[in-house]
Amino acid sequence: MTETKYLHFVLDEIGYGVHNLNTIAVALSNLPSDSRVDPALNIKWEPKNVNTSSIAARRFAVRSSIVFAAETLFEYMNSISDDAMWKELNNGLDFSVELAAHDSKAKRFSEFCKSIPDIEKEWYLLVELMCHWRNRIVHASTSKAQLSSSDRQYLESKSSDIYETFHHFDIKKTLADYEADKVTLKEATTLITFLIKCCRKIDEYYLSSISNISDNVYCDILDKDEQLIKIRKQQHSDKRTRQITKYIEIKLSSLSAEKLVEITTKYT
Protein backbone atom coordinates (compact mmCIF):
# COMPACT_ATOMS: atom_id res chain seq x y z
CA MET A 1 0.00 0.00 0.00
CA THR A 2 1.37 3.42 -0.98
CA GLU A 3 -1.02 5.63 0.97
CA THR A 4 -3.56 5.44 3.77
CA LYS A 5 -7.26 6.11 3.33
CA TYR A 6 -6.62 9.32 5.25
CA LEU A 7 -4.13 10.62 2.69
CA HIS A 8 -6.39 9.45 -0.13
CA PHE A 9 -9.11 11.67 1.34
CA VAL A 10 -6.75 14.66 1.45
CA LEU A 11 -5.57 14.20 -2.13
CA ASP A 12 -9.13 13.82 -3.42
CA GLU A 13 -10.48 16.82 -1.53
CA ILE A 14 -7.53 19.12 -2.21
CA GLY A 15 -7.31 18.11 -5.86
CA TYR A 16 -11.02 18.81 -6.25
CA GLY A 17 -10.65 22.14 -4.50
CA VAL A 18 -7.66 23.34 -6.54
CA HIS A 19 -9.32 22.30 -9.81
CA ASN A 20 -12.42 24.29 -8.90
CA LEU A 21 -10.32 27.28 -7.81
CA ASN A 22 -8.51 27.31 -11.14
CA THR A 23 -11.82 26.94 -12.99
CA ILE A 24 -13.22 29.95 -11.12
CA ALA A 25 -10.11 32.00 -11.93
CA VAL A 26 -10.35 31.17 -15.64
CA ALA A 27 -14.08 31.85 -15.73
CA LEU A 28 -13.67 35.21 -14.00
CA SER A 29 -10.98 36.23 -16.47
CA ASN A 30 -13.52 35.75 -19.26
CA LEU A 31 -16.47 37.65 -17.83
CA PRO A 32 -18.38 39.72 -20.40
CA SER A 33 -17.97 43.48 -20.20
CA ASP A 34 -21.66 43.95 -19.41
CA SER A 35 -23.93 42.32 -16.82
CA ARG A 36 -25.85 39.96 -19.06
CA VAL A 37 -26.91 36.83 -17.17
CA ASP A 38 -28.16 33.50 -18.48
CA PRO A 39 -31.86 33.43 -17.53
CA ALA A 40 -31.46 29.80 -16.49
CA LEU A 41 -29.32 30.92 -13.50
CA ASN A 42 -32.32 32.71 -12.01
CA ILE A 43 -30.16 35.30 -10.22
CA LYS A 44 -29.87 39.07 -10.21
CA TRP A 45 -26.36 40.29 -11.01
CA GLU A 46 -25.89 44.00 -11.59
CA PRO A 47 -22.28 44.97 -10.79
CA LYS A 48 -21.36 48.64 -10.93
CA ASN A 49 -18.04 47.59 -12.41
CA VAL A 50 -17.55 44.10 -13.85
CA ASN A 51 -13.77 44.19 -13.48
CA THR A 52 -13.96 45.23 -9.82
CA SER A 53 -16.51 42.50 -9.11
CA SER A 54 -14.30 39.94 -10.86
CA ILE A 55 -11.28 40.86 -8.71
CA ALA A 56 -13.37 40.70 -5.53
CA ALA A 57 -14.86 37.33 -6.48
CA ARG A 58 -11.42 35.90 -7.24
CA ARG A 59 -10.16 37.08 -3.85
CA PHE A 60 -13.17 35.46 -2.18
CA ALA A 61 -12.48 32.16 -3.99
CA VAL A 62 -8.77 32.17 -3.11
CA ARG A 63 -9.43 32.96 0.55
CA SER A 64 -12.09 30.24 0.64
CA SER A 65 -9.57 27.74 -0.74
CA ILE A 66 -7.24 28.50 2.17
CA VAL A 67 -10.01 27.74 4.66
CA PHE A 68 -11.02 24.57 2.79
CA ALA A 69 -7.44 23.27 2.61
CA ALA A 70 -6.76 23.96 6.29
CA GLU A 71 -9.95 22.21 7.37
CA THR A 72 -9.06 19.22 5.19
CA LEU A 73 -5.64 19.13 6.86
CA PHE A 74 -7.19 19.23 10.34
CA GLU A 75 -9.50 16.36 9.41
CA TYR A 76 -6.49 14.33 8.23
CA MET A 77 -4.50 15.04 11.38
CA ASN A 78 -7.41 14.15 13.66
CA SER A 79 -8.06 10.92 11.72
CA ILE A 80 -4.43 9.83 11.93
CA SER A 81 -4.27 10.62 15.65
CA ASP A 82 -7.46 8.64 16.28
CA ASP A 83 -6.32 5.62 14.27
CA ALA A 84 -6.08 2.48 16.41
CA MET A 85 -2.73 1.40 15.00
CA TRP A 86 -1.27 4.90 15.32
CA LYS A 87 -2.20 4.83 19.00
CA GLU A 88 -0.49 1.45 19.36
CA LEU A 89 2.77 2.99 18.13
CA ASN A 90 2.83 4.96 21.39
CA ASN A 91 4.99 7.65 19.81
CA GLY A 92 3.51 10.52 21.80
CA LEU A 93 2.18 12.19 18.65
CA ASP A 94 -1.45 13.24 19.02
CA PHE A 95 -2.72 16.23 17.08
CA SER A 96 -5.87 16.43 19.20
CA VAL A 97 -3.98 17.08 22.44
CA GLU A 98 -3.35 20.73 23.29
CA LEU A 99 0.29 21.54 23.92
CA ALA A 100 -0.42 24.53 26.14
CA ALA A 101 -3.26 26.81 27.08
CA HIS A 102 -4.77 28.51 24.03
CA ASP A 103 -2.42 26.85 21.54
CA SER A 104 -3.62 26.79 17.94
CA LYS A 105 -4.05 23.90 15.54
CA ALA A 106 -1.53 25.65 13.31
CA LYS A 107 1.15 25.52 16.00
CA ARG A 108 0.14 21.97 16.94
CA PHE A 109 0.72 20.91 13.35
CA SER A 110 4.27 22.28 13.36
CA GLU A 111 5.08 20.60 16.66
CA PHE A 112 3.70 17.32 15.33
CA CYS A 113 5.81 17.52 12.18
CA LYS A 114 9.05 18.04 14.11
CA SER A 115 9.02 14.33 15.00
CA ILE A 116 8.31 13.09 11.45
CA PRO A 117 11.36 12.09 9.37
CA ASP A 118 12.14 13.92 6.12
CA ILE A 119 9.76 16.86 6.58
CA GLU A 120 11.75 20.02 5.90
CA LYS A 121 11.26 22.75 8.48
CA GLU A 122 10.28 25.31 5.84
CA TRP A 123 7.54 22.98 4.59
CA TYR A 124 5.68 22.72 7.86
CA LEU A 125 6.25 26.38 8.74
CA LEU A 126 4.61 27.40 5.48
CA VAL A 127 1.69 25.10 6.24
CA GLU A 128 1.51 26.64 9.71
CA LEU A 129 1.37 30.03 8.02
CA MET A 130 -1.49 28.81 5.83
CA CYS A 131 -3.39 27.63 8.92
CA HIS A 132 -2.80 31.00 10.61
CA TRP A 133 -4.14 32.61 7.45
CA ARG A 134 -7.23 30.45 7.75
CA ASN A 135 -7.73 31.78 11.28
CA ARG A 136 -7.39 35.37 10.11
CA ILE A 137 -9.97 34.79 7.38
CA VAL A 138 -12.49 33.07 9.66
CA HIS A 139 -11.88 35.23 12.75
CA ALA A 140 -10.95 38.49 11.06
CA SER A 141 -11.83 40.77 13.95
CA THR A 142 -10.25 38.73 16.75
CA SER A 143 -7.46 36.59 15.31
CA LYS A 144 -3.88 37.44 16.26
CA ALA A 145 -2.50 34.35 14.50
CA GLN A 146 1.15 34.76 13.72
CA LEU A 147 4.40 32.89 13.15
CA SER A 148 7.08 33.50 15.75
CA SER A 149 9.76 36.01 14.81
CA SER A 150 12.37 33.23 14.76
CA ASP A 151 10.24 31.14 12.39
CA ARG A 152 9.75 34.13 10.09
CA GLN A 153 13.50 34.70 10.07
CA TYR A 154 14.09 31.05 9.25
CA LEU A 155 11.70 31.18 6.31
CA GLU A 156 13.34 34.35 5.03
CA SER A 157 16.71 32.60 5.22
CA LYS A 158 15.32 29.91 2.93
CA SER A 159 13.73 32.34 0.45
CA SER A 160 16.33 31.89 -2.30
CA ASP A 161 16.22 28.08 -2.17
CA ILE A 162 12.42 27.99 -2.25
CA TYR A 163 12.28 30.60 -5.02
CA GLU A 164 14.47 28.39 -7.21
CA THR A 165 12.79 25.11 -6.29
CA PHE A 166 9.11 26.02 -6.21
CA HIS A 167 8.34 27.96 -9.37
CA HIS A 168 9.56 31.37 -8.15
CA PHE A 169 7.50 31.28 -4.96
CA ASP A 170 8.49 34.43 -3.08
CA ILE A 171 8.48 33.90 0.69
CA LYS A 172 9.15 37.54 1.57
CA LYS A 173 6.22 38.67 -0.57
CA THR A 174 4.03 35.96 0.92
CA LEU A 175 4.85 37.06 4.46
CA ALA A 176 4.05 40.67 3.51
CA ASP A 177 0.81 39.57 1.85
CA TYR A 178 -0.08 37.66 4.99
CA GLU A 179 0.24 40.81 7.06
CA ALA A 180 -1.95 42.66 4.55
CA ASP A 181 -4.31 39.66 4.10
CA LYS A 182 -3.89 39.78 0.32
CA VAL A 183 -3.37 36.13 -0.57
CA THR A 184 -2.83 35.48 -4.29
CA LEU A 185 -3.81 32.44 -6.34
CA LYS A 186 -0.14 31.43 -6.68
CA GLU A 187 0.43 31.73 -2.92
CA ALA A 188 -2.64 29.66 -2.07
CA THR A 189 -1.84 26.83 -4.47
CA THR A 190 1.84 26.75 -3.47
CA LEU A 191 1.00 26.64 0.24
CA ILE A 192 -1.36 23.76 -0.54
CA THR A 193 1.54 22.02 -2.30
CA PHE A 194 3.53 22.16 0.95
CA LEU A 195 0.51 20.82 2.83
CA ILE A 196 0.43 17.78 0.55
CA LYS A 197 4.19 17.24 0.88
CA CYS A 198 3.88 17.20 4.69
CA CYS A 199 0.91 14.82 4.66
CA ARG A 200 2.77 12.43 2.35
CA LYS A 201 5.69 12.27 4.77
CA ILE A 202 3.37 11.70 7.74
CA ASP A 203 1.73 8.92 5.77
CA GLU A 204 5.08 7.34 4.91
CA TYR A 205 6.07 7.41 8.57
CA TYR A 206 2.77 5.82 9.56
CA LEU A 207 3.00 3.01 7.02
CA SER A 208 6.64 2.23 7.73
CA SER A 209 6.00 2.23 11.49
CA ILE A 210 3.01 -0.11 11.47
CA SER A 211 4.89 -2.55 9.25
CA ASN A 212 6.94 -3.40 12.34
CA ILE A 213 3.92 -4.07 14.57
CA SER A 214 3.42 -7.70 15.53
CA ASP A 215 0.27 -9.65 14.70
CA ASN A 216 -0.54 -9.74 18.42
CA VAL A 217 -1.07 -5.99 18.37
CA TYR A 218 -3.50 -6.22 15.45
CA CYS A 219 -5.36 -8.96 17.28
CA ASP A 220 -5.52 -6.87 20.46
CA ILE A 221 -7.13 -4.06 18.46
CA LEU A 222 -9.67 -6.39 16.88
CA ASP A 223 -10.42 -8.28 20.09
CA LYS A 224 -11.53 -5.01 21.71
CA ASP A 225 -13.65 -3.89 18.77
CA GLU A 226 -17.30 -4.06 19.81
CA GLN A 227 -18.64 -4.06 16.26
CA LEU A 228 -16.45 -6.99 15.25
CA ILE A 229 -17.43 -8.86 18.41
CA LYS A 230 -21.07 -8.39 17.47
CA ILE A 231 -20.51 -9.68 13.92
CA ARG A 232 -18.62 -12.74 15.15
CA LYS A 233 -21.52 -13.72 17.40
CA GLN A 234 -23.61 -14.43 14.32
CA GLN A 235 -24.13 -18.00 13.20
CA HIS A 236 -21.35 -19.30 10.96
CA SER A 237 -22.18 -18.62 7.32
CA ASP A 238 -20.74 -17.20 4.13
CA LYS A 239 -22.41 -13.89 4.94
CA ARG A 240 -20.72 -13.77 8.36
CA THR A 241 -17.34 -14.49 6.76
CA ARG A 242 -17.85 -11.72 4.20
CA GLN A 243 -18.87 -9.26 6.88
CA ILE A 244 -15.86 -10.07 9.05
CA THR A 245 -13.50 -9.83 6.09
CA LYS A 246 -14.93 -6.52 4.96
CA TYR A 247 -14.92 -5.06 8.45
CA ILE A 248 -11.28 -5.96 9.10
CA GLU A 249 -10.29 -4.59 5.69
CA ILE A 250 -11.84 -1.26 6.70
CA LYS A 251 -10.55 -1.30 10.27
CA LEU A 252 -6.98 -2.18 9.27
CA SER A 253 -7.09 -0.60 5.83
CA SER A 254 -3.40 0.31 5.83
CA LEU A 255 -2.20 -3.30 5.94
CA SER A 256 -1.07 -5.16 2.85
CA ALA A 257 -3.46 -7.60 1.18
CA GLU A 258 -1.31 -10.51 2.33
CA LYS A 259 -1.28 -9.36 5.93
CA LEU A 260 -5.05 -8.77 5.87
CA VAL A 261 -5.66 -12.34 4.69
CA GLU A 262 -3.39 -13.64 7.45
CA ILE A 263 -5.19 -11.63 10.16
CA THR A 264 -8.70 -12.21 8.83
CA THR A 265 -8.22 -15.99 8.77
CA LYS A 266 -7.97 -15.92 12.56
CA TYR A 267 -11.45 -14.39 12.89
CA THR A 268 -13.54 -16.23 10.29
**Which pLDDT score, from 0 to 100, does residue 179 have?**
92
| pLDDT value of residue 3 | 87
Under the banding of pLDDT at 50, 70 and 90, the label for residue 84 is confident
pTM of the model: 0.86
Q: For 189-213, what is the mean pLDDT?
A: 92
- Residue 5 scores a pLDDT above 60: yes
Q: Report which of residues 175 and 141 the model is more confident about.
A: 175
Confidence class of residue 99 from pLDDT cuts 50, 70 and 90?
Answer: low
CA distances from 2 to 8, 24, 202 (A): 10, 32, 12
Task: Read off the pLDDT of residues 160-200 as tens digits, 9 standing for 90 and up.
Answer: 999 999 989 999 999 999 999 999 999 999 999 999 999 99
Smallest Cα–Cα separation from 188: which of 75, 94, 63? 63
Q: What is the pLDDT of residues 37-79, one digit of tens each?
A: 878 888 888 888 888 999 999 999 999 999 999 999 999 999 9
Please report, for residues 230, 245, 254, 268, the alpha-carbon distance to residue 238 in angstroms, rounded to integers and kept in the order given. 16, 11, 25, 10
